[in-house]
Amino acid sequence: MSIGENTVLENIPLYILLIVLFLLLILSGFFSLSETSMMAINRYRLKHLAKQGNRAALLTSRLLDKTDRLLGVILLGNNLLNTASATLVAVIIALLFGQDELALLMGTLILTFAILIFSEITPKVIAAAYPERIALFASYILTPLLKILYPVVWFINLFVSGLLILLRIKPKESTTEQTISIEELRTLVLEGGHFIQKKHQSMLLNLFDLETVTVEDVIVPRSQIEAIDLTADDETIQSQLLTCHHTRLPVYRERMDNIVGIVHMRKALNHMKSGPITSAVLEQIMHQPYFIPSSTPLFSQLQLFQENRKRIGLVVDEYGEWLGLVTLEDIFEEIIGEFTTLAPTRANSYLEQADGSIIVEGSELLRDLNRKLDMQLPLDGPKTLNGLILEYLQDIPENGTGLNIAGHPMEIIQVKNQVVKTVRIHQQLPNSPIN
């Protein structure tokens, strides 16, 4: 350092040099704030604000569309300021202690500590806590700064692009175009907390399940279906129509597996005004049955109901055998929960006992038991409680047989025709192992 330069430095007050150093650290902290907040901001929230016309959100979105340029101007400013701080500390040490190497080493250590605390860690922790507020503010400064320093940033990114080509890395043009899977979307809904009402959260989660749940999972079994036999006498048909608790009834001839149509109760009642309903009249007012495969996902079936203008479908297996039926209301209930009035014949599906146990029918669907009784029965095998018990025991049980499935103690009350009719489910044992 020349004598002339020493004279100029000696004329600068020390406090001014310290103030300049402090300002350099603060400016460096701003770039650290900007970098962390820009990378941590919620992109979907940012898109929402941008669509509403928020100017800061629009500027931030444009900056994030070109991440290489954004990081280029941030890191350029950060490194220039840190280098300037190091140079200024060296000047201050030289003014105070001359060429003392120990003093220069201590000054370097103190500066490193100050940069870490005031320019790196603290700003980044603050930015991670308030990314949206800081990123939107920083966009007003970074946007014009990028325009001013664009030639320098372009020159630097030229070398960066060359290095990426050598490493065979091809970054995406925009980091805002992020895809999200169903499971990630489910996690977002679960983490919504107080932002989403509990009922709405449950409905959204049920909606996601429609792709994985099939028609067979919510089917009304054939044994529980009320149907009309065309070969029955007119008085029996008339009585059955008058006492029916459903809006639509399957119609069969001689055998239950020979479904020939579906009759709407409104049409039947309208014909009753002009006279009794006979099997011949029933054949005229019924419409063709709508058959659906048992493996159809519920979401697809919901669309098919809409496209075909149907509200009820007869479920068949891969061999064409009629298994049961599913209605549009059944799918809606999978989303929003039960909302229809059950028929009197099914009103007592769950009988709570004085000891806290519950008596249920063996034909109950496992999904319904899990949802209504807060159970954790396995769903990857049989669909009904009867099927699960038979699979678990691998034999036809006797009355009074006890078992424990997935930590739920059960007692078989009635077995009839090789089918478990009724089961008593006791309260779940604490710390029970999952079988």
pLDDT for 355: 83
> Percent helix, strand, coil in the chain (nearest 5)?
55, 15, 30
Residue 13's φ and ψ, nearest 5 degrees, are: -60, 145
Residues 6+ apart with CB under 8 A from 353: 359, 424
More confident residue, 431 or 363: 363
Residues 6+ apart with CB under 8 A from 70: 38, 63, 64, 142, 146
More confident site: 307 or 161: 307
pLDDT given at position 427: 78
Q: How many residues are recorded in the chain?
A: 435
Question: Which tens digit of pLDDT belongs to each residue from 49-65?
Answer: 998 989 999 999 999 88
Judged against a pLDDT cut of 70, whether residue 341 lies above it is answered with no
The proportion of the chain whose per-residue pLDDT surpasses 90, expressed as a percent, equals: 20
Residue 398 scores a pLDDT above 70: yes
Q: What is the largest CA-CA distance in the chain?
A: 124
d(CA 234, CA 277): 7
From 10-24, 27-41, 296-310, the region with the lowest mean pLDDT: 10-24
Query: What is the pLDDT at residue 275?
Result: 77
Whole-prediction pTM value?
Answer: 0.60
Rounded distance between C-alpha atoms, residue 281 and residue 297, angstroms = 36
Residues 261 and 283 sit within 8 Å (Cβ to Cβ): yes
Rounded to a whole number of angstroms, the distance between the first and last alpha carbons of the chain is 81
Q: List domains and CATH numbers for the chain.
A: 3-166 (no CATH), 215-343 (3.10.580.10), 348-425 (3.30.465.10)
Q: According to the model, what pLDDT value does residue 430 have?
A: 54
Q: What is the pLDDT of residue 423?
A: 92
Strands of the sheet containing 402-405, edge to edge, are 350-352, 358-361, 419-425, 408-416, 402-405
Q: Which amino acid is at 345?
A: T
Structure tokens belonging to residue 96: 């105070």
Residue 7 has pLDDT above 70, yes or no: no
- The 10s digit of each residue's pLDDT in 208-227 is 877 788 888 888 888 788 89
Give the pair of three-digit tokens for residue 232.
């029955």
pLDDT of residue 219: 87
